[in-house]
Amino acid sequence: MNAVTTSLVDPQGRHFEYLRLSVTEACNYRCVYCLPNGFHSAPSSSRALTVDEIGRLLAGMASLGVWKVRLTGGEPTLRADLTEIVARAASTPGIRKVALSTNGDRLQGLAAPLAAAGLSQVNVSIDHPDSFGFERITGRARLAQVRAGVDSCLEAGLRVKVNVVRLRGVNDDALDGFMRWVRDTPVTVRFIELMQTAGREAFFEAHHVSLDPVRERLLADGWRPIPRASADGPAVEYAHTDFAGGFGLIAPYGPDFCAGCNRLRVTARGGLRLCLFGRGETTLRHLLVPEVQAALVAEHIRAALRGKPAGHHLHENDAGDTAHLAALGG
C-alpha cells in the first residue's frame, strides 16, 4: 500500500499512512535539548494506553489505510510489555511495518525478542560518536552499551537508523567520527536540525545550526542523494560506494517540510495530535473499549483530520504547546 491508496486525506490533499504512537512519557535520559532535568510525572497524569487499547487504536488506524507504526516515547523500552505491544501491532491486519524509536540503552537484551515479535526497524538516538560527548548531551555514560545494542539489532536482522540532533558548539564537529563508524557499519546516521520547543527559546537561539555544512561536506566527499519514493519521510538520504552505512538530513525549517507530511501522532494517553508543533489534541481513549467498533474510531480520526493545519509556525517562533518532544514522541 502506498500514499495514494490510503483513505486518510486532509484538506491540503496530503495522505496519511504512518502513525507515531508514544507508549510512555517516561524517559531515563536527560538530553540537553529535550528533558535536561529528567522526566517527572505529573501527579494527575493517567496511565499510558494498555496493550488492548493500543490494539483497538491500530485496528481503527489500519482500517483507514495506515500501514506503518512507529512506537516511541518518552523511552518506549521502559515499558515492560513492549514486546507484547510490538507483537500486537505486527499482527494487526493491514499493519505491515512496525518500527521503534529508542535511546538504545536497553537494546542489547531486547533486540532479538523484539525482532521475533515482528519489529522491522529501529531508530536509535546517538547524539555524539564519542563517550565524553555522548554523556555531555544525554547525562548518561552509556555509549558503549548503546553501540552494543545497535550491534544486537543488526545481528537480529533489524534495519537501524541513528538520529543525531545537530547542536552548535556541542556536536557540530561530529561528522568525522560518524563517518569512521559508517564506513563498515550498515546504519544510516541522520542529522536532525534542532527544533524549537515551547519555553526553550534561549537554548534554541544558542544551539540551533543549519545542516548546510553537512550537506556540502557529504557532496564534496562523493556522497550522492538517494532518489526518494512518494511515501518516504522528510529525510534526504545519501549513499557512497565505499561505505557500508549512509547519512541522512532532516531539515524541519526547510521548504516543503510540511507539504510532505504523511504522519499522525498519538500520545501515550490516547490523544491524537495533528502536528508536532500544534495546539491541543483529540481524545481517542474513550473509544478504545470493546463496545466500540473500529469503524467508529476511524470516523473520529477522519473527522479530526479535517482540522489539520497546512504547516507548523516554527518560522514565526511559534512552537505550539509542545514543551518537549518526549511528550509526543518526536
Chain positions contacting ligand SAM, by CB under 6 A: 27, 33-34, 72-73, 75, 101-103, 125, 163, 165, 192, 194-195, 197, 325-326, 329-330
Cell reading at 135? 554523556
Residue among 146 and 182 whose Cβ is closer to ligand SAM: 146
Residue among 6 and 196 whose Cβ is closer to ligand SAM: 196
Q: Are 177 and 189 in contact (CB under 8 A)?
A: no
Residue among 154 and 323 whose Cβ is closer to ligand SAM: 323
**Nearest distance from C-beta of residue 78 to ligand SAM, angstroms:** 9
In the complex, residue closest to ligand SAM by CB:
330
**Nearest distance from C-beta of residue 167 to ligand SAM, angstroms:** 9
DSSP state of 129: S
Cell reading at 311? 504547516
* DSSP string across 12-54: T--B--EEEEE--S--S---TTT-TT-----TTPPPPPPHHHH
Other beta carbons less than 10 A from residue 34's beta carbon: 21
**Nearest distance from C-beta of residue 190 to ligand SAM, angstroms:** 9
Q: Are 100 and 71 in contact (CB under 8 A)?
A: yes
Residue among 6 and 197 whose Cβ is closer to ligand SAM: 197
Among candidate residues 16, 85, 18, 17, the one with its CA nearest the CA of residue 48: 85
**Nearest distance from C-beta of residue 174 to ligand SAM, angstroms:** 14
Residue among 59 and 126 whose Cβ is closer to ligand SAM: 126
Residue among 16 and 191 whose Cβ is closer to ligand SAM: 191
**Nearest distance from C-beta of residue 63 to ligand SAM, angstroms:** 27
CA distance 144 to 80: 23
**Nearest distance from C-beta of residue 216 to ligand SAM, angstroms:** 21
Residue among 63 and 103 whose Cβ is closer to ligand SAM: 103
Residue among 6 and 163 whose Cβ is closer to ligand SAM: 163
Half-sphere exposure of 6 (CA within 13 A, CB side): 29
CA distance 196 to 33: 9
**Nearest distance from C-beta of residue 59 to ligand SAM, angstroms:** 24
**Nearest distance from C-beta of residue 121 to ligand SAM, angstroms:** 13
**Phi/psi-derived region of residue 87, left when phi > 0, alpha when psi is between -120 and 50, beta in every other case:** alpha
Cross-sheet strand order for the sheet of 121-125: 224-225, 236-239, 246-250, 188-193, 159-166, 121-125, 97-102, 68-72, 18-22, 263-266, 271-273, 282-283
